Amino acid sequence: MKKISRILFIFSAIICFELPALAQQDAQFSHYMFNSMYYNPGYAGLEGNTRFTGIFRKQWLGYASTTDAPGGTSPTSAVMTANTLLPFFKKSTGAGLNFLYDSKGPINTTELQLSLAYHFKIKTGKLGVGLRSGFRYENLNSNWYRVIDQSDPIYTSLKSSPSNQMKADIAAGLYWQTPKYYIGVSASHFTGTKYTYGIDTSIASKLSSHIYATAGYTFNLSGGLIKLTPNAFFQTDTKNYTYLFGAMATYNDKFYGGVSTRQSVANREVTQGGNTINNDDIIFLIGMNFMKDNAMRVGYSFDYVTSGTQAKTRTSHEIMLSYVIPSPWLQAKPVVRTPRYRQEEY
Residue 293: which domain range? 2-330
Identity of residue 40 = N
* 339 in any annotated domain: no
Asked if 283 and 263 count as a contact pair (C-beta separation under 8 A), the reply is: no
CA distance 116 to 98: 12
Asked if 65 and 74 count as a contact pair (C-beta separation under 8 A), the reply is: no
Closest CA to 184 of 29, 44, 20, 24: 44
pTM: 0.82
Give the helix/strand (H/E) hosting 213.
Answer: strand 210-217
Beta bridge pairs of residue 229: 248
Asked if 205 and 194 count as a contact pair (C-beta separation under 8 A), the reply is: yes
What CATH number does residue 126 fall under? 2.40.160.40
Closest CA to 136 of 206, 33, 65, 220: 206
**pLDDT for 53:** 97
* 27 in any annotated domain: yes
Asked if 304 and 314 count as a contact pair (C-beta separation under 8 A), the reply is: yes
Identity of residue 27 = A
pLDDT per residue as tens, the chain (346 positions): 444 444 343 334 333 333 333 335 788 899 999 999 999 999 999 999 999 999 999 988 776 666 666 666 778 999 999 999 999 888 899 999 999 999 887 888 999 999 999 999 998 899 999 999 999 998 877 777 677 777 777 777 676 666 778 889 999 999 999 999 999 999 999 877 777 766 665 566 778 889 999 999 999 998 889 999 999 999 998 788 899 999 999 999 999 999 999 988 876 654 555 556 566 889 999 999 999 989 999 999 999 988 766 656 788 999 999 999 987 766 666 665 555 444 444 3
* 79 in any annotated domain: yes
* 121 in any annotated domain: yes
**pLDDT for 171:** 95
Please tell me the total count of domains within the chain: 1
Beta bridge pairs of residue 162: none
* 49 in any annotated domain: yes
Closest CA to 122 of 46, 187, 12: 46
CA distance 205 to 161: 15
At 223 the three-state DSSP class reads helix
* 346 in any annotated domain: no
User: Residues with Cβ < 8 Å from 291, sequence gap 6 or more?
Assistant: none
**Distance (Å) of CA 4 to CA 36, 145, 172, 214, 305:** 19, 48, 16, 15, 37
Closest CA to 303 of 64, 66, 62, 106: 62
**pLDDT for 19:** 34
* 345 in any annotated domain: no
Give the 3-state DSSP-derived string for 258-270, with helices as H, strands as E and coil as C: EEEEEEEEECCCH
**CB neighbours of residue 96 within 10 Å:** 26
* 114 in any annotated domain: yes
Phi, psi of 151 (to 5 degrees): -95, 10
**pLDDT for 31:** 95
Asked if 285 and 55 count as a contact pair (C-beta separation under 8 A), the reply is: no
User: Residues with Cβ < 8 Å from 178, sequence gap 6 or more?
Assistant: 123, 124, 125, 126
CA atoms within 13 A on the CB side of 121: 8
Identity of residue 114 = L
